[in-house]
Structure 1
Amino acid sequence: MIIKESFNVRRTLPFIWFDMVLAAGSSSAAYLLVDRAGVHWLALPSLLATVLGTALAILLAFRANTAYQRWWEASTIWAQLTGLSRTLVRVAWSITDAKLTDPAIDPDTVHAWQRDVANRQAAWVHSLARHLRGQDSAPELARLLPPDEASAVLLADNKPAVLARMQSQAIFRGYAAGILSGLDNFQMETALAGLSTQQALAERMSITPIPRPHDFVSRIFVHCYVLVFPFAAISALTAYRWLVIPSAVLIALFFRMVERVGASTEEPFANRTQDVPITALATNLERDLLELVDVAQRPAKPTPVDGYLW
């Protein structure tokens, strides 16, 4: 996620250079052929540029809006995950903390169970973030889980799903040990069910991008418009026809940048500079979960790197 307010223009050059060159070449050709060589039949009606420009603007606006909706949906999914994770650990702490007054319950056992639930949930969040980005979650799992659990999870294809199963098993083991009673386990299972639903939504977002024809058609239409625009715009200029060259370059820059903004935000979990910073959000959530069970040693807050938060 981009945090800094200024942008490095050089980072955009690999995405816009072709249209800039195409605009400069087509506009120079239009100026030389129509104005200098007198080949007036190459001058297209200016209305053509207006109609095509309007159609292209609508298409790009639709693309950008669709991409932003996906980005916002991804952000909403992660917010739901955050809230449900906090609820799970908070309920686990509150229910079991009340049991400490029972002399038959060992306080150390209760506190260890509370910390295990918080650590396992933090591991689940990290593993989901890495799972969505196709990254390795081994460092976080080794840090937060017992060795036997970490080894079992690392062998799984869907690590978050296995961790959710382990969390459910831990809840029912707590019930069997007397740490939980009555309907306590069902309250926590409700939160786990909500987390599984949000995981499925996040996975759907990750593996089902916008249909490729949207990207292909947008790029081709921008190229075509950049090529045609100078020959239509020059017919509207009665003097200073050389202005068609900088005008075409600016128009190409505008449309290409709008198209790239949509393309760069349509996959919000792809570990790009414009995506939802789920790695940083997972670390922040780990801090919150450990704080809920009174763990003093927590990871440092994530900070932007060169203006980007990952």
Structure 2
Amino acid sequence: MLIKYSDNPFKQVYGIAFYNRRNIFLFTFISIIAVLQFEFGEIFLWDPIVLPVVPVTILGGALAIFLGFRNNSAYDRWWEARKVWGGIVNASRTFGVMVCTFSSTHFSKGKIKDKKVLDWRQELIHRHIGWLYALIMHLRGQNHWNDLERYLSEKEIEKIKKLHNKPTQILHKQSERLQEAYEDRIIEDFRHMELANVIKEFYNLQGMAERIKGTIFPYYYNYFTGVFLWLFVICLPFALAPEMHWSAIPMSIAISFVFTILEKSGAVTEDPFEGRAADTPISTITRNIEIDLLEMIRSETIPAPMEPKIGRFGVKYLD
């Protein structure tokens, strides 16, 4: 999640120009060609290409409608992704509290030792943290196992490596361990049902995140937005040149740049799980959940909160 650009205004401008250098070059090239052919057309005995302003303005209005729809839809996807992970935060804390307070030696009438209950609590909390990191891998298409190796056994990791949907299978294992705990009388019937409902909520939240990840933005909107954008960019300087002459070059570049940035912001925002500066900070959220859950079981090794990252040109963001 982007926190802010660099405090240095020169770095801000340079960074924006650097990441859009190809488009800026094309805008400049098209604008110069349009103005040169208008200004020197009579000298070289050709009729300059001049476009009326009204059709270009109508085209710009149609383009603005497409961009507005796309950006609104992209922001809805980004905000829904943030709400899904907010739900994961709340459900994870609820799960941690239930695991720590619902389990007891009381229901077994002394047949279960305290150590077995404490080991069971730690196992479920660790596996849940493993599920969070597995979900990040699943959504980002990564294959990093370092975080999971800290919380899952080697045998369990080797098993889920062969499976297609790893976070789903981790939750399935959690459900199996809840059933075994019920049979061993670590938890009783009512508490088993409540914990099972929280597992169900995790499945629902994971499914929502997978829906956002797997639902491709309608192709025709992407395609026609790109077509209209570049048609507008090409036509604009030929419409401005008769009115503004050489001033049409910077004005055309500026207007084209605004429309292009709007298009680019929508394209980036519609995929909120890629780990870029503007995406939902699922790694930071997971670390915060990890800290909360480890503190619940009084773990001796608790990681520090993730600090904001400093990207190129001084951009500060949360991963």
Provide TM-score, normalisation by structure 1. 0.91
Q: Mean alpha-carbon deviation: is it higher for 165-174 or for 102-111? A: 102-111
2 CA distance for matches of 1:174 and 1:223? 62
Gaps spanning 5+ residues in structure 2: where? 311-315
2:82–2:280 CA contact under 8 A, matched in 1: yes
> How far 1:233 sits from its partner (Å)?
2.0
2 CA distance for matches of 1:72 and 1:137? 26
Q: Specify the alignment match of 2:317 in structure 1.
A: 308
Q: Mean alpha-carbon deviation: is it higher for 92-101 or for 42-51? A: 92-101
Give the counterpart letter for 1:26 in structure 2.
Answer: I
Which of 65, 74, 77 is the matching residue for 2:84?
A: 77
> How far 1:170 sits from its partner (Å)?
0.9
2 CA distance for matches of 1:263 and 1:188? 39
Q: Specify the alignment match of 2:291 in structure 1.
A: 287
Change (3 A) 1:121 1:57: same
1:124–1:164 CA contact under 8 A, matched in 2: yes
Which of 273, 277, 294 is the matching residue for 2:277?
A: 273
Give the counterpart letter for 1:256 in structure 2.
Answer: T
Q: Secondary structure at the match of 2:277?
A: coil
Q: Specify the alignment match of 1:55 in structure 2.
A: 62
Q: Specify the alignment match of 2:196 in structure 1.
A: 189
The equivalences for 1:100-115 within 5 A come to: 103-115=110-122
Q: Mean alpha-carbon deviation: is it higher for 183-192 or for 282-291? A: 282-291
Q: Mean alpha-carbon deviation: is it higher for 82-91 or for 42-51? A: 42-51
2 CA distance for matches of 1:308 and 1:155? 34
1 CA distance for matches of 2:224 and 2:113? 66
1:123–1:144 CA contact under 8 A, matched in 2: yes
1 CA distance for matches of 2:217 and 2:114? 52
Q: Secondary structure at the match of 1:144?
A: coil
1:88–1:188 CA contact under 8 A, matched in 2: yes
Gaps spanning 5+ residues in structure 1: where? none
The equivalences for 1:192-211 within 5 A come to: 192-211=199-218
2:160–2:166 CA contact under 8 A, matched in 1: yes
Which of 136, 144, 151 is the matching residue for 2:151?
A: 144
Q: Mean alpha-carbon deviation: is it higher for 9-18 or for 207-216? A: 9-18
2:240–2:248 CA contact under 8 A, matched in 1: yes
Q: Specify the alignment match of 1:27 in structure 2.
A: 31
Give the counterpart letter for 2:215 in structure 1.
Answer: T
2:37–2:48 CA contact under 8 A, matched in 1: no
2 CA distance for matches of 1:41 and 1:138? 62
2:309–2:317 CA contact under 8 A, matched in 1: yes
Q: Specify the alignment match of 2:313 in structure 1.
A: none
> How far 1:14 sits from its partner (Å)?
6.5
Aligned-residue Cα RMSD (Å) equals 2.2
Q: Secondary structure at the match of 2:83?
A: helix
> How far 1:225 sits from its partner (Å)?
0.8
Q: Mean alpha-carbon deviation: is it higher for 24-33 or for 110-119? A: 24-33
Q: Secondary structure at the match of 2:3?
A: coil
2:105–2:113 CA contact under 8 A, matched in 1: no
Alignment of 1:133 onto 2:147: no
Give the counterpart letter for 1:194 in structure 2.
Answer: E
2 CA distance for matches of 1:213 and 1:59? 11
1:46–1:236 CA contact under 8 A, matched in 2: no
> How far 1:303 sits from its partner (Å)?
1.3
Q: Specify the alignment match of 1:163 in structure 2.
A: 170
Change (3 A) 1:236 1:210: same
Q: Specify the alignment match of 1:263 in structure 2.
A: 267
2 CA distance for matches of 1:194 and 1:143? 25
> How far 1:257 sits from its partner (Å)?
0.8
1:132–1:269 CA contact under 8 A, matched in 2: yes
Which of 42, 46, 53 is the matching residue for 1:46?
A: 53
> How far 1:84 sits from its partner (Å)?
1.3
> How far 1:91 sits from its partner (Å)?
1.2
Give the counterpart letter for 1:169 in structure 2.
Answer: E
Change (3 A) 1:81 1:152: same
2 CA distance for matches of 1:244 and 1:56? 20
Alignment of 1:5 onto 2:12: no
1 CA distance for matches of 2:217 and 2:14? 27
Q: Specify the alignment match of 1:221 in structure 2.
A: 228
> How far 1:262 sits from its partner (Å)?
0.7
Q: Secondary structure at the match of 2:317?
A: coil
Change (3 A) 1:173 1:100: closer
Q: Secondary structure at the match of 2:187?
A: coil
2 CA distance for matches of 1:137 and 1:116? 21
Q: Specify the alignment match of 1:88 in structure 2.
A: 95
